[in-house]
Amino acid sequence: MDEAIMLTDKLRHRAKDNCDNPGAAQAADLKELTELLYTETKQNKDPDALFVRVKEVEQHVQDLRATEGIYSLPDVNDMYDRCQELKQLFKELA
């Protein structure tokens, strides 16, 4: 879970940075984070904390999807699908 927290913090900071291509950088971070969350969810590690994290990631993904030119990135759409899978997993764990 520490790794997920670090990645989420990295995302928050990157969102505030004015780098050349923040959308692509965020997409790469989000992909890494969604994969990590998916793995941890499958292993049923602290489902309550993970659920909060998934909701936050989902919001980031939705923000990226709303960004012009970013919506078409396959990674962003894959991440959105993964967030939906994660939410379904949480329903099954509940």
Q: Is the dihedral of CA 10, 13, 16, 19 positive or negative?
A: negative
The predicted model gives 61-76 an average pLDDT of 63
Q: What pLDDT is attached to residue 32?
A: 74
Residue 52 is predicted with a pLDDT of 76
> Bigger pLDDT: 6 or 70?
6
> Does position 77 have pLDDT exceeding 60, yes or no?
yes
Measured CA to CA, the distance from residue 53 to residue 33 in angstroms comes to 10
| pLDDT value at residue 18 | 45
Per the prediction, the chain carries an average pLDDT of 67
Q: How far is CA 88 from CA 4, 11, 84, 91, in A?
A: 19, 24, 6, 5
State the burial class of residue 68 (Cβ atoms within 10 Å of its Cβ: 0-12, 13-18, 19+): exposed
Phi, psi of 28 (to 5 degrees): -65, -45
